Amino acid sequence: MGGSLKETSYEKRIQRLMLLGEDGDQYGLYIDISNNIVWEVKNPEQACWEGETGRAGGVTAWLKKQIYPYIMDNEEEQKFRRTFMQGELLRLFQSGQRQVQLGYRFRKGKYITYYHVNIEMFEHPRKHTIECCAIWRNDTIPYVNRVISKVLLQDKYRMIAVLDIQEKTVFVRKHTFDDMELVCDQPLEYREFIEKLCEHRVEKKDRDWFVTSTRLDYMEENLQMAGTYSLTVYNEERGAERYTYRWLDKEYREVLIAVEDRTVEMEKDPLTGYLNRSGFLRKTEHILKKNADQYQFAVIYFNIRKFSGLNDVYGYENGDKIIRSYMDRIQNSVLRPLALGRVSADRFHALVDVKNLELSELGKLLQYPVRIRGEQVEIYGRCGIYYIPEHCDLDVSQMCDLAKMAKNKISNQYMQPYEIYQENMKTEYGQKNLALLNLEKALEQEEFVVCYQPVVDGQTGEIVSAEALVRWNSSGAEPMVPSVFVPELEDSGYITKLDTYIDQTVHRFQEERYCQEKRMVPVAVNLSRMDLMDGRMTERIFTEIQETKVPKQYFRYEIIESACTIISTQGEEFLESLRQQGVQIFLDDFGTGVSTFETVRDYTFDALKLDMGFVKKIGKDQKSDAIVVSIIDLAHRMGMKVVAEGIENQQQSDFLRAHGCDYLQGFYYYKPMSAEKFSKLLDK
């Protein structure tokens, strides 16, 4: 009786183990381990595998035919073989282990799957043979989920997919793309997958770039180098999405694709909480597209005057507070901006309805007091305004540029802290930027022409020296004077290249006249503050002065007063070394700087050039006349000569000569002229 119950219980147990359930991707194997016999096989494709059941040695034959050819990795196959060896299973059973579990990769058709095998061993109650039920379960999806959870640090993704590079197939695990037909866990050709993304997630203008950037060979090359590869897609409707490729299994060339929403991070300014430049551009573009009458809007560019100085004096923490309060002030003002964004530092953009743009109220909005560390500090803001015209074909970024251009044209911010964009501003702005864009080309094509303006003796009127000036004869454009392009080159640091060209041209001019034994006069070259800070520039000048055969007194350099305030020790030593060789150093534009007397006290100059602003007022302002006389007297007492530039009439000339000005320069005597004309003038 007991034996019968025991055997009945045993049979029920076998039935339970071999009951594979509703999942059509499970396999069951009932094995007599002691005799190496397969008694029963169950799988979704055939109820029983005929031919090998009930035969000794059937287990080995079954595994060799059904399992081993599809295990992808040789090491995994060896591990599987060792586990299913008759002796190993018997040893495990005798040691008290009744259950064995293992997982392995299995190629099913052209797809890679992951199978979990559970082997439960027991003793036959009557035969006393050791038997087992081995259940194969397709564990691919849970396995992938486990690996994904290890690779990804968070689960807030718009899409997660697995890419099989070898098969060029994608399995989408999950997605939140309601506008796309993507069936999860179904194979999809990678090319078709990318096409669907282009159609629904990528702007038309970016689609070629997206296709190229997600090409399999290009993507895999980046993965091999860095282990991860990312690109960000920006869509006007959906914001920013970052596509990240990571190795899921490098050996099998399986890649995890994760798409996350980066709109907030990409469009939010972390300091103020308002939009950043990208966010402002996208939101404004969206608003304008929804409104056919764009002329009812205006784009405004704001900035705070001398904000870097506020940071230096009161600290960056207080500077940040000013920025936040300034943007809050704009947001809560009568402008009622439809979009407000911080571009950088103290620069902001706003889109406003023109009916809210009361120009008379801008002064109160932009200029206001704040208290910092117990002190009252005045904040001075400025803005440029671009009224969007009808049928405007500019994008928002270009509109912002034009608003900024208008801001840069503000002449008196205390009287009017705003400026409205006018079409003629673009032409002037274009000329200035042309200097930066085409400098190298202009130098190569010799578009810059060095001119010479003679300087005469204050008593005799004889030409005693000259100043080298430059004009830009740009191809296809009107000649430009230095006031148009030199400030831009100075601000950008490119002025050194131009000054090098001028200096070398003057050297050639002087050397030619010296070799031809013609009359020579000193020629002065202007050096900017950037020149004095460039060690290569100063070394080149010093070397050329040393090596030239021309007497050193025929070379002069003029330094503007503002450059002296930032001159380095290296720059001081350079100027002094030139003076020791016989080169004269002049202080240019004397009288315009705030530290004039400190400059002539702390540095040694052979002469100073009186700023033309004083010369223009001669005979019109008694105070200016008195200052001019005092400067001439002061310079002479300090052992310096005086050059007056910008002389335009006889009254100015007579006044300067009467008060002992040493040298005179200006249109009244000579205009700047070409090297050829200057040579002829000297030869007379």
* Residues 585-617 pLDDT 10s: 999 988 765 445 777 777 789 999 998 888 999
Q: Which residue reads 């039935």 in tokens?
A: 15
DSSP string of 196-251, one letter each residue: HHHHHHS-GGGHHHHHHHT-HHHHHHHHHHHSEEEEEEEETTTEEEEEEEEEEETT
Please give the pLDDT value at position 49. 44
Whether the predicted pLDDT of 475 surpasses 50: yes
**Fold of the domain built from segment(s) 2-138:** Beta-Lactamase (3.30.450)
Whether the predicted pLDDT of 629 surpasses 60: yes
Whether the predicted pLDDT of 158 surpasses 50: yes
- CA end-to-end span of the chain, whole Å? 143
Q: In this structure, what token pair is assigned to residue 104? A: 């392995």
Higher-confidence position of 493 and 89: 89
Whether the predicted pLDDT of 149 surpasses 50: yes
Class of domain 143-265: alpha beta
Least reliable range by pLDDT among 30-39, 133-142, 370-379: 133-142
* Residues 313-323 pLDDT 10s: 889 999 999 99
Q: Three-class SS string for 467-490?
A: EEEEEECCCCCCCECHHHHHHHHH
181 vs 172: CA distance, rounded Å? 11
Please give the pLDDT value at position 236. 76
Domain limits of the chain? 2-138, 143-265, 277-421, 433-683
Please give the pLDDT value at position 419. 95
Grade residue 433 by pLDDT with cuts at 50, 70 and 90.
Answer: low
Least reliable range by pLDDT among 8-17, 95-104, 114-123, 560-569: 8-17
Please give the pLDDT value at position 47. 44
Q: In this structure, what token pair is assigned to residue 594? A: 């705030």
* Residues 240-266 pLDDT 10s: 899 999 998 888 888 999 999 888 888
- What's the alpha-carbon Rg for the chain, to the nearest Å? 42
Please give the pLDDT value at position 607. 95
Closest CA to 108 of 76, 161, 137, 71: 71
Least reliable range by pLDDT among 428-442, 445-459, 553-567: 428-442
Whether the predicted pLDDT of 367 surpasses 50: yes
Higher-confidence position of 543 and 624: 543
Cβ(366)–Cβ(359) under 8 Å? no
DSSP string of 567-583, one letter each residue: --HHHHHHHHHHHHTT-
Grade residue 624 by pLDDT with cuts at 50, 70 and 90.
Answer: confident
Note whether 2-138 and 433-683 share their fold: no
Higher-confidence position of 154 and 488: 488
Whether the predicted pLDDT of 302 surpasses 60: yes
Whether the predicted pLDDT of 40 surpasses 50: yes
578: Cβ–Cβ under 8 A, 6 or more apart, which residues? 541, 542, 545, 557, 585
1: Cβ–Cβ under 8 A, 6 or more apart, which residues? none
Higher-confidence position of 412 and 637: 637
Q: What's the whole-number average pLDDT of the chain?
A: 86
Cβ(385)–Cβ(406) under 8 Å? yes
Provide CATH code, domain 433-683.
3.20.20.450
Grade residue 3 by pLDDT with cuts at 50, 70 and 90.
Answer: very low
Please give the pLDDT value at position 424. 81
Architecture per CATH, domain 277-421, reads as 2-Layer Sandwich (3.30)
Provide, rounded to the nearest whole percent, the portion of the chain with pLDDT above 90. 50
* Residues 641-653 pLDDT 10s: 999 999 999 999 9
Least reliable range by pLDDT among 10-24, 58-72, 441-455, 553-567: 10-24
Paired with 244 in beta bridges are: 230, 258
